[in-house]
Amino acid sequence: MKAAPFEYISAGSIDEACALLARHGESAKLIAGGQSLVPMMAMRLVRPAWLVDINEIAALKFIRVERDAARVGACTRQCVVERDDALAAQVPLLRQALAWVGHVQTRNRGTIGGSLAHADPAAELPLAAQVLGARFVLRSAKGARTVEAIRFFAGPMSTAAQPDECLEEIHWPIWSEQRTGSAFTEIAVRHGDFAIVAAAAQVALDVDGRCTRVAFGLGGAGGTPLVFPGIAARLVGAGLDDRAAQEAANAAAAECEPGGDLHATAEYRRHLARVLVARVLRAAGEKAKRQ
Amino acid sequence: MSETLHTVAIEVNGKPRIGAVPARLSLVDWLREELLLTGTHIGCEHGICGACSVLLDGEPVRSCLMYAVQAHGHRVTTVEGLARPDGSLSVLQDSFCETHGLQCGYCTSGMLIAAQALLDANPDPTVEQIRGAIGGNLCRCTGYQQIIQAVQLAAQRTREAAAS
């Protein structure tokens, strides 16, 4: 046994989970797939007095593709999301991001909501959520509220969720434009590790190949996944050629303030930002052209 | 201090097992120390090495990254559950021997679990798919090539047996 002792309750419903959080406050922690939390508890970086397990709550496991957004229950396993063709057709960036997340064994257990709530700034799913402007439904005993991605990711491993709130579902916006393409790439020490730097983009083109909508972002280049709406807006109205993609990438790299650590210097991360943003913008544009 | 014990009912390798576990006992510790199923190995204990892989409801997971109490009501298959009912090696296990897919053996139980899950879902995997399936399992002896060959050989043998 590695973790410090704790009391364990498997919640039978969302209401029960919220009631437990309301009662125990900051001394309680939710556990979903546990692929980040269990190691952190083993290293005693996290020592909750109460562990509230939400794995058996069927109401938190669903995928519903609606007109404007795909709704995914927070406790839906990453492998289930990865395999869902209807979802991948409407929100292709999600499957593209998941291809970089961990390994088969961790995706079988890890959940969509767990990764987002963990909010590692170099993780893939938070970046995809940030780029698409996902919306997060947070529930507490007092009711539910919806938070935009840009407000949800508050800092490294830190979100807008209060100690009494449970992430219930995530709404992934569907772009209705016919000619839409997206791309995700990253550089990591080993495939499956958190990224040193990751980049994601989604692009919509009109019939003449001019951008009508662009969103892109970077992971591992700041305290949260970063998006660059101002730079993306400047790409709208023109074709997405190599030069435009590189200029946008240079602007984004200049704007971000990556840190340096054991794995990569800040300078190297900024270099990767320049290279990877240009790469995903071009790839997303190419895919959109083929639609 | 005394810790709360939770009663768990878990199907392990086809047999119902009952346990009384503290919440912080990992599934792998319960399998090894209570059930004495020591075929599942403990490597890194934080989800990096894959040595502790078991099937949970048929899907490979890391048994160091869940607590035994969380497996209550679920089905677990360990490497001991892969052998034939008479105790002889499965096609996959024999293929590992045939191709020298193991040396020290520490990663082998996890590799077998990961590869068996792949073959159950996909009887004719590509090398790329095999690499993807065992990508979460570290081996420090073989350089992985013979492990990939073992999975290919097992797939081939299983297909041939089905065809004849």
Side chain identity, residue B59: E
* 3-state secondary structure (DSSP) of residue A220: coil
**How many CA atoms does the CB half-sphere of A122 hold within 13 Å?**
21
Q: What is the mean pLDDT of residues B125-143?
A: 96
**One domain, residues B97 and B159:** yes
* Segment B87-123, tens digit of pLDDT: 999 999 999 999 999 999 999 999 999 999 999 999 9
Q: What is the DSSP letter of B30?
A: I
Same domain, B19 and B73: yes
Residue B95 sits in the same domain as residue B146: yes
Residue of A nearest to B110 (CA): A105
Does B101 share its domain with B55?
no
**With respect to CATH, is domain A58-173 assigned 3.30.465.10?**
yes
Q: Please provide the average confidence, as pLDDT, over all residues in chain A.
A: 97
Task: Give the separation between CA B145 and CA A252, rounded to whole angstroms.
Answer: 41
**Beta bridge pairs of residue A147:** A136
Ordered by start, the domain boundaries in chain A are: 7-53, 58-173, 180-289
Query: Are B12 and B69 in a shared domain?
Result: yes
Domain boundary, last residue among B81, B110, B125: B81
Going by C-alpha positions, the residue among B121, B158, B127, B137 that lies closest to residue B54 is B137
In a domain, B24, yes or no: yes
Rounded Cα gap, residues A168 and B137, in angstroms: 32
- When mean pLDDT is compared across A59-63, A74-78, A192-196, A232-236, the lowest value belongs to A192-196
Would you say B3 and B23 are in contact if contact means Cβ atoms under 8 Å apart?
yes
Q: How far is CA A124 from the centre of its chain?
A: 5
Q: What is the pLDDT of residue B164?
A: 84
Q: Are A228 and A253 in contact (CB under 8 A)?
A: no
Question: Closest Cα to residue A186, out of A217, A161, A147?
Answer: A217
pLDDT digits (tens, 9 = 90+) for B10-38: 999 999 999 999 999 999 999 999 999 99
Name the pLDDT band for B48 (thresholds 50, 70, 90): very high
Task: Provide the pLDDT confidence category of residue B2 given band limits of 50, 70 and 90.
Answer: confident
Q: Provide the 8-state DSSP code for B34.
A: I
pLDDT at position A246: 98
**Is the separation of the CB atoms in A58 and A33 below 8 Å?**
no
* pLDDT class of A161 with cuts at 50, 70, 90: very high
Do B12 and B65 reside in the same domain of the chain? yes
Q: Which two tokens stand for residue A168?
A: 């219930």
pLDDT at residue B1 is higher than 70: no
Among candidates A10, A39, A108 on the partner chain, residue whose Cβ is nearest the Cβ of B47? A39
Contact across the interface for A8 and B136, Cβ inside 8 Å: no
DSSP at B117: H
Residues of A in contact with B6 (CB under 8 A): 8
Q: What is the pLDDT of residues B58-69, one digit of tens each?
A: 999 999 999 999
The domain made up of A7-53 is a member of CATH 3.30.43.10:
yes
- What class, spelled out in words, does domain A180-289 have in CATH? alpha beta
Residues B111 and B149 in one domain: yes
The model's confidence at residue A1, banded by pLDDT at 50, 70 and 90, is: confident
Task: Give the closest-approach CA distance of B164 to chain A in angstroms.
Answer: 32
Rounded to the nearest angstrom, the minimum Cα separation between B56 and chain A is 9
- Test A104 with B136 for CB contact under 8 angstroms: yes
- Which secondary-structure segment (H or E) carries A255? helix A242-255
- Structural domain of B74: 5-81
ipTM value, please give it: 0.95
3 state DSSP class of B152: helix
Q: Verify that B106 and B76 share a domain, yes or no.
A: no
Which residues on chain A are in Cβ contact (under 8 Å) with B66? 34, 38, 109
Contacts of residue B123, Cβ cutoff 8 Å, sequence gap at least 6: B155, B158, B159, B162
In a domain, B106, yes or no: yes
On whether any CB of chain B is under 8 Å from the CB of A109, the answer is yes
B1 and A5 in contact (C-beta within 8 Å)?
A: yes
> B75 with B105, same domain?
no
Best mutation target among B4, B26, B28, B62 (most A Cβ atoms within 10 Å) is B62
Residue B86 lies inside a defined structural domain of this protein = no
Q: Give residue-wise pLDDT tens across range A30-56.
A: 999 999 999 999 999 999 999 999 999
Pairwise CB contact (< 8 Å): B1 & A5: yes
Burial class (CB in 10 A: 0-12, 13-18, 19+), A263: middle
* Total tally of structural domains belonging to chain B: 2
CATH label of the domain that carries residue B131: 1.10.150.120
Q: Do A12 and A54 form a contact (C-beta atoms < 8 A)? A: no
Distance, in Å, from the CA atom of B43 to the CA atom of A105, rounded to the nearest integer, reads 15
Using CA atoms, how far apart are residues A168 and A158, in angstroms rounded to an integer? 17
pLDDT at B120: 96
Work out whether the CA dihedral A9, A13, A15, A17 comes out positive or negative. Answer: positive
Residues B69 and B95 placed together within one structural domain of the fold: no
pLDDT > 70 fraction of chain A, expressed in percent and rounded: 100
Residue B134 and residue B67 share a domain: no
Place of tokens 């109401």: A59
- Please report the pLDDT score of residue B64 as a whole number: 97
Write down the pTM of the prediction: 0.96
Mean pLDDT, to the nearest integer, of A127-154?
Answer: 98
Q: Are residues B22 and B46 in the same domain?
A: yes
Residue B33 lies in a domain: yes
Contact B53 A105 (CB under 8 A): yes
Q: Which of B81, B106, B138 is the last residue of a domain?
A: B81
A251: tokens are 């602007």
Task: Quote the Cα angle for A179-A183-A185, to 5°.
Answer: 170
